[in-house]
Amino acid sequence: MKGLGARALKEWLPPAALFVVAVVGWQQAVNVFDIQRFLLPRPTAIFASWHEQWGELWSAGWYTFQEALWGFAVGCGAGIAVALVLARWRPLGTALMPYAIAANAVPIIAFAPIANAWFGIDQGSKIAIAAVLCFFPVMINVLRGLTSVHPSSLELMRSYAAGNFAVFRKVRVPNSLPYLFSSLKVASVLAMIGAIVGEYFGGALTSLGIQIKSAAALFNFETAWAAIIVACILGIAFYLAVSLAEKLAMRIYPARGAQ
Protein backbone atom coordinates (compact mmCIF):
# COMPACT_ATOMS: atom_id res chain seq x y z
CA MET A 1 0.00 0.00 0.00
CA LYS A 2 2.86 2.32 0.82
CA GLY A 3 4.34 2.01 -2.65
CA LEU A 4 0.99 2.73 -4.21
CA GLY A 5 0.54 5.88 -2.16
CA ALA A 6 4.01 7.13 -3.00
CA ARG A 7 3.44 6.52 -6.69
CA ALA A 8 0.08 8.30 -6.70
CA LEU A 9 1.67 11.21 -4.93
CA LYS A 10 4.45 11.46 -7.47
CA GLU A 11 1.97 11.50 -10.29
CA TRP A 12 -0.48 13.99 -8.85
CA LEU A 13 1.73 16.36 -6.91
CA PRO A 14 3.30 18.24 -9.82
CA PRO A 15 0.04 19.06 -11.62
CA ALA A 16 -1.64 19.93 -8.35
CA ALA A 17 1.24 22.17 -7.40
CA LEU A 18 1.23 23.88 -10.78
CA PHE A 19 -2.52 24.32 -10.60
CA VAL A 20 -2.28 26.16 -7.31
CA VAL A 21 0.53 28.32 -8.65
CA ALA A 22 -1.49 29.08 -11.78
CA VAL A 23 -4.64 30.11 -9.93
CA VAL A 24 -2.74 32.32 -7.51
CA GLY A 25 -0.75 33.76 -10.38
CA TRP A 26 -3.95 34.41 -12.31
CA GLN A 27 -5.47 36.29 -9.38
CA GLN A 28 -2.38 38.42 -8.98
CA ALA A 29 -1.87 39.04 -12.66
CA VAL A 30 -5.37 40.36 -13.09
CA ASN A 31 -4.77 42.80 -10.27
CA VAL A 32 -1.28 43.81 -11.25
CA PHE A 33 -1.83 44.14 -14.97
CA ASP A 34 -5.33 45.48 -14.55
CA ILE A 35 -6.71 43.14 -17.18
CA GLN A 36 -10.19 44.11 -18.12
CA ARG A 37 -12.78 41.89 -16.61
CA PHE A 38 -14.29 40.79 -19.86
CA LEU A 39 -11.09 39.16 -20.92
CA LEU A 40 -10.11 37.39 -17.78
CA PRO A 41 -12.08 38.00 -14.62
CA ARG A 42 -10.55 37.23 -11.27
CA PRO A 43 -10.81 33.59 -10.20
CA THR A 44 -12.63 34.77 -7.11
CA ALA A 45 -15.25 36.55 -9.18
CA ILE A 46 -15.74 33.49 -11.37
CA PHE A 47 -16.05 31.30 -8.34
CA ALA A 48 -18.66 33.62 -6.86
CA SER A 49 -20.67 33.51 -10.05
CA TRP A 50 -20.36 29.77 -10.07
CA HIS A 51 -21.68 29.54 -6.59
CA GLU A 52 -24.67 31.69 -7.46
CA GLN A 53 -25.71 29.87 -10.58
CA TRP A 54 -24.63 26.42 -9.56
CA GLY A 55 -27.92 24.73 -10.39
CA GLU A 56 -28.42 26.39 -13.74
CA LEU A 57 -24.90 25.81 -14.90
CA TRP A 58 -24.81 22.17 -14.00
CA SER A 59 -28.19 21.38 -15.51
CA ALA A 60 -27.09 23.12 -18.70
CA GLY A 61 -23.90 21.11 -18.49
CA TRP A 62 -25.79 17.88 -18.14
CA TYR A 63 -28.04 18.80 -21.07
CA THR A 64 -25.02 19.37 -23.29
CA PHE A 65 -23.16 16.39 -21.93
CA GLN A 66 -26.00 14.10 -22.92
CA GLU A 67 -25.66 15.30 -26.49
CA ALA A 68 -21.95 14.63 -26.38
CA LEU A 69 -22.48 11.19 -24.87
CA TRP A 70 -25.01 10.08 -27.44
CA GLY A 71 -22.97 11.55 -30.26
CA PHE A 72 -19.93 9.68 -28.93
CA ALA A 73 -21.85 6.42 -28.73
CA VAL A 74 -23.33 6.72 -32.21
CA GLY A 75 -20.18 8.03 -33.87
CA CYS A 76 -17.78 5.54 -32.30
CA GLY A 77 -20.18 2.65 -32.77
CA ALA A 78 -20.60 3.46 -36.44
CA GLY A 79 -16.85 3.97 -36.81
CA ILE A 80 -16.09 0.55 -35.34
CA ALA A 81 -18.77 -1.14 -37.41
CA VAL A 82 -17.58 0.39 -40.67
CA ALA A 83 -13.95 -0.40 -39.83
CA LEU A 84 -14.86 -4.05 -39.26
CA VAL A 85 -16.64 -4.18 -42.60
CA LEU A 86 -13.77 -2.51 -44.44
CA ALA A 87 -11.22 -4.81 -42.82
CA ARG A 88 -13.24 -7.83 -43.86
CA TRP A 89 -13.62 -6.74 -47.48
CA ARG A 90 -10.11 -5.48 -48.07
CA PRO A 91 -10.41 -4.18 -51.63
CA LEU A 92 -13.21 -1.91 -50.45
CA GLY A 93 -11.13 -0.85 -47.49
CA THR A 94 -8.03 0.04 -49.46
CA ALA A 95 -10.10 1.92 -52.02
CA LEU A 96 -12.01 3.94 -49.42
CA MET A 97 -9.22 4.63 -46.92
CA PRO A 98 -7.85 7.71 -48.71
CA TYR A 99 -11.39 9.12 -48.89
CA ALA A 100 -11.98 8.54 -45.23
CA ILE A 101 -8.75 10.32 -44.47
CA ALA A 102 -9.76 13.17 -46.77
CA ALA A 103 -13.20 13.33 -45.16
CA ASN A 104 -11.49 13.60 -41.81
CA ALA A 105 -9.68 16.64 -43.17
CA VAL A 106 -12.95 18.46 -43.92
CA PRO A 107 -13.63 21.16 -41.38
CA ILE A 108 -16.75 19.81 -39.78
CA ILE A 109 -17.56 23.26 -38.50
CA ALA A 110 -19.17 23.85 -41.87
CA PHE A 111 -21.52 20.95 -41.22
CA ALA A 112 -23.00 22.49 -38.06
CA PRO A 113 -25.50 24.87 -39.69
CA ILE A 114 -26.61 22.10 -42.03
CA ALA A 115 -27.20 19.75 -39.14
CA ASN A 116 -29.46 22.40 -37.64
CA ALA A 117 -31.33 22.66 -40.93
CA TRP A 118 -31.83 18.90 -40.94
CA PHE A 119 -32.67 18.15 -37.35
CA GLY A 120 -33.89 21.44 -35.99
CA ILE A 121 -32.24 23.11 -33.08
CA ASP A 122 -32.93 20.58 -30.38
CA GLN A 123 -30.57 17.89 -29.17
CA GLY A 124 -30.73 15.74 -32.28
CA SER A 125 -28.63 18.07 -34.43
CA LYS A 126 -25.91 18.36 -31.79
CA ILE A 127 -25.81 14.60 -31.44
CA ALA A 128 -25.38 14.39 -35.19
CA ILE A 129 -22.47 16.83 -35.19
CA ALA A 130 -20.74 15.08 -32.31
CA ALA A 131 -21.28 11.74 -34.01
CA VAL A 132 -19.75 12.91 -37.28
CA LEU A 133 -16.75 14.35 -35.41
CA CYS A 134 -16.20 11.04 -33.62
CA PHE A 135 -16.81 8.77 -36.57
CA PHE A 136 -13.78 9.40 -38.74
CA PRO A 137 -10.91 9.27 -36.23
CA VAL A 138 -12.33 6.09 -34.70
CA MET A 139 -12.98 4.44 -38.04
CA ILE A 140 -9.54 5.24 -39.41
CA ASN A 141 -7.70 4.13 -36.29
CA VAL A 142 -9.63 0.92 -35.79
CA LEU A 143 -9.17 0.02 -39.44
CA ARG A 144 -5.46 0.60 -39.09
CA GLY A 145 -5.37 -1.55 -35.97
CA LEU A 146 -7.28 -4.35 -37.67
CA THR A 147 -5.00 -4.38 -40.69
CA SER A 148 -1.55 -3.78 -39.25
CA VAL A 149 -1.12 -7.31 -38.06
CA HIS A 150 2.33 -8.80 -38.31
CA PRO A 151 2.56 -11.11 -41.36
CA SER A 152 3.98 -13.92 -39.18
CA SER A 153 0.82 -13.95 -37.10
CA LEU A 154 -1.24 -14.37 -40.22
CA GLU A 155 1.06 -17.10 -41.50
CA LEU A 156 0.60 -18.95 -38.23
CA MET A 157 -3.15 -18.72 -38.65
CA ARG A 158 -2.87 -19.98 -42.22
CA SER A 159 -0.96 -22.98 -40.98
CA TYR A 160 -3.96 -23.73 -38.76
CA ALA A 161 -6.23 -23.45 -41.80
CA ALA A 162 -8.09 -20.78 -39.84
CA GLY A 163 -11.10 -19.20 -41.49
CA ASN A 164 -11.49 -15.43 -41.85
CA PHE A 165 -13.79 -15.13 -38.88
CA ALA A 166 -11.39 -16.96 -36.59
CA VAL A 167 -8.52 -14.74 -37.71
CA PHE A 168 -10.65 -11.70 -36.92
CA ARG A 169 -11.71 -12.87 -33.53
CA LYS A 170 -8.40 -14.23 -32.37
CA VAL A 171 -5.88 -11.92 -33.96
CA ARG A 172 -7.16 -8.76 -35.60
CA VAL A 173 -9.58 -7.58 -32.96
CA PRO A 174 -7.19 -7.97 -29.99
CA ASN A 175 -4.47 -6.32 -32.05
CA SER A 176 -6.68 -3.30 -32.70
CA LEU A 177 -7.58 -2.55 -29.08
CA PRO A 178 -4.70 -0.12 -28.39
CA TYR A 179 -5.59 1.81 -31.55
CA LEU A 180 -9.26 1.80 -30.58
CA PHE A 181 -8.67 3.28 -27.17
CA SER A 182 -6.35 6.03 -28.30
CA SER A 183 -8.96 7.11 -30.84
CA LEU A 184 -11.73 6.90 -28.23
CA LYS A 185 -9.82 9.35 -26.06
CA VAL A 186 -9.59 11.79 -28.95
CA ALA A 187 -13.28 11.28 -29.72
CA SER A 188 -14.34 11.94 -26.13
CA VAL A 189 -12.92 15.45 -26.31
CA LEU A 190 -14.28 16.05 -29.82
CA ALA A 191 -17.79 14.99 -28.83
CA MET A 192 -18.11 17.65 -26.18
CA ILE A 193 -16.64 20.33 -28.44
CA GLY A 194 -18.97 19.29 -31.24
CA ALA A 195 -22.01 19.58 -29.03
CA ILE A 196 -21.10 23.07 -27.90
CA VAL A 197 -20.20 24.28 -31.38
CA GLY A 198 -23.54 22.99 -32.58
CA GLU A 199 -25.33 24.89 -29.87
CA TYR A 200 -23.62 28.09 -30.87
CA PHE A 201 -25.38 27.93 -34.20
CA GLY A 202 -28.73 27.56 -32.52
CA GLY A 203 -29.69 25.63 -29.46
CA ALA A 204 -31.97 25.48 -26.47
CA LEU A 205 -31.66 28.04 -23.70
CA THR A 206 -30.89 25.22 -21.34
CA SER A 207 -27.71 24.27 -23.18
CA LEU A 208 -24.21 25.18 -22.16
CA GLY A 209 -23.31 26.72 -25.50
CA ILE A 210 -26.21 29.14 -25.39
CA GLN A 211 -25.48 29.93 -21.74
CA ILE A 212 -21.97 30.97 -22.67
CA LYS A 213 -23.12 32.91 -25.69
CA SER A 214 -25.90 34.78 -23.94
CA ALA A 215 -23.83 35.52 -20.84
CA ALA A 216 -21.10 36.99 -23.01
CA ALA A 217 -23.65 39.02 -24.99
CA LEU A 218 -24.92 40.50 -21.71
CA PHE A 219 -21.35 41.33 -20.66
CA ASN A 220 -21.74 38.89 -17.82
CA PHE A 221 -18.25 37.51 -18.27
CA GLU A 222 -17.91 35.93 -14.88
CA THR A 223 -20.84 33.70 -15.72
CA ALA A 224 -19.53 33.06 -19.20
CA TRP A 225 -16.22 31.90 -17.80
CA ALA A 226 -17.95 29.85 -15.15
CA ALA A 227 -19.90 28.09 -17.88
CA ILE A 228 -16.72 27.57 -19.90
CA ILE A 229 -15.11 25.96 -16.89
CA VAL A 230 -18.09 23.66 -16.49
CA ALA A 231 -17.61 22.63 -20.12
CA CYS A 232 -13.94 21.93 -19.45
CA ILE A 233 -14.65 19.89 -16.37
CA LEU A 234 -17.17 17.76 -18.22
CA GLY A 235 -14.78 17.28 -21.13
CA ILE A 236 -11.96 16.27 -18.80
CA ALA A 237 -14.24 13.92 -16.87
CA PHE A 238 -15.29 12.23 -20.10
CA TYR A 239 -11.66 11.85 -21.17
CA LEU A 240 -10.67 10.43 -17.80
CA ALA A 241 -13.54 7.96 -17.90
CA VAL A 242 -12.35 6.67 -21.26
CA SER A 243 -8.77 6.52 -19.94
CA LEU A 244 -9.95 4.45 -17.01
CA ALA A 245 -11.78 2.09 -19.31
CA GLU A 246 -8.59 1.83 -21.35
CA LYS A 247 -6.50 0.93 -18.32
CA LEU A 248 -8.95 -1.78 -17.31
CA ALA A 249 -9.27 -3.28 -20.76
CA MET A 250 -5.59 -3.19 -21.53
CA ARG A 251 -4.24 -4.77 -18.36
CA ILE A 252 -3.31 -7.83 -20.32
CA TYR A 253 -1.18 -5.91 -22.80
CA PRO A 254 2.52 -5.29 -22.23
CA ALA A 255 3.26 -1.87 -20.75
CA ARG A 256 3.71 0.63 -23.53
CA GLY A 257 5.87 3.74 -23.40
CA ALA A 258 4.83 6.84 -21.49
CA GLN A 259 1.43 8.04 -22.67
Per CB under 8 A, contacts with other proteins among 150-169 are 150-156, 158-162, 166
Find the length of the chain: 259
Per CB under 8 A, contacts with other proteins among 94-113 are 95-96, 99, 101-102, 104-111, 113
- Judged by CB under 8 A, the residue of 74, 134, 231, 242 near other proteins is 231
Binding of other proteins at residue 10 (CB under 8 A)? Answer: yes
Minimum CB separation from other proteins for residue 159, in Å? Answer: 5
How far, in Å, are 123, 139, 192, 207 from residue 126 at the CA level?
Answer: 5, 20, 10, 11
Pick the piece of the chain touching other proteins (CB under 8 A) from 26-34, 46-54, 77-85, 117-125. Answer: 117-125
- Judged by CB under 8 A, the residue of 3, 5, 55, 254 near other proteins is 254
Q: Burial letters for 86-124: b for 16+ Cβ neighbours within 10 Å, e otherwise? A: bbeeeeebeebbeebeeeeeeebeebbeebbeebebebb
CA–CA separation, 83 and 89 (whole Å)? 10
Nearest to 56 by CA among 198, 224, 235, 206: 206
Q: Which is nearer to other proteins, 135 or 201 (CB)?
A: 201
Per CB under 8 A, contacts with other proteins among 38-97 are 38-40, 95-96
Pick the piece of the chain touching other proteins (CB under 8 A) from 26-34, 52-60, 74-82, 209-217. Answer: 209-217
Q: Which is nearer to other proteins, 248 or 258 (CB)?
A: 258
> With contact defined as beta carbons under 8 Å apart, do 209 and 196 qualify?
yes
For residue 139, the 8-state DSSP code is: H
Binding of other proteins at residue 23 (CB under 8 A)? Answer: no
- Judged by CB under 8 A, the residue of 131, 209, 242, 246 near other proteins is 209
Per CB under 8 A, contacts with other proteins among 179-198 are 189, 192-193, 196-197
DSSP string, 94-132: HHHHHHHHHHHTS-GGGGHHHHHHHHTTSHHHHHHHHHH
